[in-house]
Amino acid sequence: MAALTVERKTYKGGFRMNEKEDLNKLIVSRMGGINKKIMVMSGKGGVGKTTFAVNLSFALQMNGLKTGILDADLHGPNVPKMLGLDDVTLETKDDNIVPAKIPVGLDRQLKVMSIAFLIRRDDPVIWRGPLKINALQQFLGKVEWGELDYLVIDLPPGTGDEPLSIAQLIPDIHGSVIVTTPQDVALADSRRSVNFSKKLGIKVLGIVENMSGFVCPKCGEKTDLFKMGGGEKAAKDLGVPFLGRIPIDPNIVQDSDVGKPFILSHKESDASRSIRDIIDKIKK
């Protein structure tokens, strides 16, 4: 593969993108230290990808699996906020970026990388394709991920520059998890993500139906706010595994907003149980 020319750019935190380098080689060697790379994607926005990606990463690390999460949503990077990493200044070591780390249990740390660590809060990222590809190359090749069991990649909705770059830059992606909601449109939404994965030779690990039913905390009655079963039906029609459904739980919103991983702070909830079941299937 041809060597890539990387533009010189200076970011807050002192990180300097290099002059000329064969980043692709660096990416291949860096990614070689990570056993399973998982893309979390969806056909449309706001279905709970970041929520799921954050809880998946946290749960994996909690179970003793060395894990990193890459926020590849360059225009809407929400991973740091959901993990309570609001004011992080990244360090560099030998011209490499040291990812942010959050403690998980006694001696475990989840590694986190996001464009949000490199820009001023509220500054929009106004980049076209080539700059976005460049940033993702740096995130994969220049971040000291070290040896990991899992790298979870949170993507923006759709099948644009970010998922395409990630799919093309990482040589051996373990698979994609597609998050959807229970409405009938889940089929159309998921179809695009499934076809994207298939075209790029990425195994679809399965579909997650999020926001599936709401149990009233006062009377206990269950209401299917967004209908029920769209994700499961989509999985069946598209011939990919159905990983399970996660109910609506107001504590998910609360926890996301204050940067607490829901799976830890509400371990005994139905939603946490569902997330754990889904993770077990992903790990198989």
Ligand X SMILES: Nc1ncnc2c1ncn2[C@@H]1O[C@H](COP(=O)(O)OP(=O)(O)OP(=O)(O)O)[C@@H](O)[C@H]1O
Which of 48, 68, 231, 244 is close enough to bind ligand X by CB under 6 A? 48
Q: Which does 113 bind (CB under 5 to 8 A by kind): Mg ion, ligand X, none?
A: none
Q: How far apart are CA 71 and CA 117, in angstroms?
A: 10
Is position 157 an interface residue for ligand X (rule: CB under 6 A)?
A: yes
> Cα 159 vs. chain centroid, distance in angstroms?
14
Is position 50 an interface residue for ligand X (rule: CB under 6 A)?
A: yes
Q: Residue 183 or residue 210: which is nearer to ligand X going by CB? A: 210
Per the CB < 8 A criterion, the answer to whether 36 and 151 are in contact is yes
Which of 252, 263, 279, 282 is close enough to bind ligand X by CB under 6 A? 252
Q: Residue 57 has which token pair?
A: 């990463």
In the chain, helix, strand, coil percent, each to 5?
35, 25, 40
Which of 23, 59, 173, 248 is close enough to bind ligand X by CB under 6 A? 248
Is position 256 an interface residue for ligand X (rule: CB under 6 A)?
A: yes
Is position 50 an interface residue for Mg ion (rule: CB under 5 A)?
A: yes
Alpha-helical regions (H) of 33-92: 49-62, 79-82
Q: Which does 84 bind (CB under 5 to 8 A by kind): Mg ion, ligand X, none?
A: none
Is position 83 an interface residue for ligand X (rule: CB under 6 A)?
A: no
Which of 17, 30, 31, 51 is close enough to bind ligand X by CB under 6 A? 51
Q: How far apart are CA 19 and CA 44, in angstroms?
A: 36
Q: Residue 30 or residue 49: which is nearer to Mg ion going by CB? A: 49
Q: Residue 96 or residue 256: which is nearer to Mg ion going by CB? A: 256
Supply angle C-alpha 128, 132, 138, rounded to 5.
Answer: 155
> If DSSP states are collapsed to H, E and C, what string results for 99-144?
CEEEECCCCCEEEEEEHHHCCCCCCCCCCCHHHHHHHHHHHHHCEC
- Minimum distance from residue 183 beta carbon to ligand X (Å): 14
Q: Which does 157 bind (CB under 5 to 8 A by kind): Mg ion, ligand X, none?
A: ligand X
Rule CB under 5 A: which residues touch Mg ion? 49-50
